[in-house]
Amino acid sequence: MKIALITDSHYGVRNDSAVVANFQNKFFYDVFLPYLKENGITEVMHLGDLMDRRKYVNYVTLKNVKDNFILPLLKEHIAVNVVVGNHDVYYKNTNSVNSLNELFADIDPTSFHVHWDKPVELVYDGQKILFCPWICDENYDASMKAIAETDARVLMGHFEIEGFEMHRGAICEHGQKVDLFSKFDLVCSGHFHHKSTHKNIAYLGAPYEMNWNDYGDERGFHIFDTETCELEFIRNPYSMFHKIDYSDNDMTIEDIANLNTSELTGSYIKVIVHNKNNPYIFDLFIDRLQKSGAVDIKIIDDHLNLDLVEEDGLVDEAQDTLTILNRYVDTIEFRGDKKQVEHFLRELYIEAINL
């Protein structure tokens, strides 16, 4: 039997952005649902953070997640088991108040089953899986007991495991120890949006990009084979963030007219200008991008006369914000713990982009 694994959908992300919602729906209808139907997959396991906001829900977002994720799956007789993630719960010390129970109580629990309080063992064709929600103060003892005593060889849930990349270049320095999960043949987790694997632990990653930090990071979902315990990655071919290098040294009007902008509709673009010798050609190029239906276009002039500028004084605006902040912290001299400063800035940045 094959089960589709998806995690960190974050419906309502970026202040309930309609642009992101359209991108989420494009992934669902063009990639996720067609694959399930074509391959006869009837089970989905969602590993947490279905919703983005911890405190409240936007009505348009609620309608979107029902109409364009949950109900289409149930209409195709595809059952969903979902654990609550940290973004799905209101309090930090208990999962008892969570968005999934409050928002989707009217949906048939035999088809859309929410697991929120403690780990549960699910069995598919003889393969036992320990399915674990976000570990908090209230369910910590029950979670540790279940992990220690289960004879399941596969563990799935929403974990914060020390030593893994939260996103590229940012390592988690707190959370559960890797040794806690050593007894399992395979551990699949949501929570960190960057897809990565170390030994028996696989962070599945988010299914799509949500901000500039995600640029160029592989996204998609996985298929779990209950017979072989193998994971197959299904890549999401769509990108919401694009960087375009511009140089008009050999560019002609015909090149601009033939420029393929079909993938830029509804996207965010950074144009990194290396050589701009012909203002007319440049204006035509930008106009072509604007007519593509892109949401936002930023023009970044590459630094000229680099030999006249000190390297430490350069800021590459084409990089993401967190990379720029971390590079700055690395260059300053002080007696404090730079890792703590980087962690604080990262938490502050994530909070800011979700406002």
Nearest to 85 by CA among 196, 204, 3, 181: 204
pLDDT > 90: percent of the chain? 82
Question: Residue 276 and residue 36: Cα distance in Å, rounded?
Answer: 47
pLDDT at 312 over 50: no
Give the range among 42-51, 164-173, 201-210, 325-334 with minimum mean pLDDT: 325-334
Q: Domain ranges in the chain?
A: 2-235, 241-302, 311-355
- Structural contact between residues 119 and 142, judged by C-beta atoms closer than 8 angstroms: yes
pLDDT score at 301: 86
pLDDT grade for 341, boundaries at 50, 70 and 90: confident
The answer to whether residue 277 scores a pLDDT higher than 60 is yes
Does the pLDDT value for residue 314 go beyond 50? no
Residues 115-162 pLDDT 10s: 999 999 999 999 999 999 999 999 999 999 999 999 999 999 999 999
d(CA 156, CA 129): 7
| 190-242 per-position pLDDT tens digit | 999 999 999 999 999 999 999 998 999 999 999 999 999 999 999 999 999 99
Rama region for 339: left / alpha / beta (φ>0; ψ in -120 to 50; rest): alpha
Percentage, residues of the chain above pLDDT 70 = 93
With CA atoms as reference, report the closest residue to 293 among 272, 273, 269. 269
As a whole number, mean pLDDT of residues 176-192 equals 97
| pTM value surpassing 0.75 | yes
CB 171 within 8 A of CB 185: no
**Once rounded to an integer, what is the mean pLDDT over residues 167-171?**
84
Q: Which two tokens stand for residue 186?
A: 């395979």
CA 338/CA 344 separation, integer angstroms:
10
Domain 2-235 has CATH 3.60.21.10: yes
How many residues in total does the chain contain? 355
Say how many CA atoms lie within 13 Å of 48 toward its Cβ.
29
Encoded tokens for 209 = 């990009």
Band of residue 306 on the pLDDT scale cut at 50, 70, 90: very low
- pLDDT for res 320: 62
* pLDDT confidence tier of residue 316, bands split at 50, 70 and 90: low
The angle, 0 to 180 degrees and rounded to 10, between the axes of the packed helices 321-331 and 338-353 is 160
Identify residue 184 by its one-letter amino acid code. F
Q: Strand, helix or coil at 202? A: strand
Task: Report pLDDT digits (tens) over 64-115.
Answer: 999 999 999 999 999 999 999 999 999 999 999 999 999 999 999 999 999 9
Sequence-ordered strand ranges (E) for the chain: 2-6, 43-46, 79-83, 112-115, 120-124, 127-132, 154-158, 165-167, 170-171, 186-190, 196-198, 201-203, 220-225, 231-235, 241-247, 268-275, 296-301
Least confident stretch, 5-14, 119-128, 316-325: 316-325
96 Cβ partners below 8 Å, 6+ apart? Answer: 116, 117, 138
C-alpha span between 157 and 134 (Å, rounded): 7
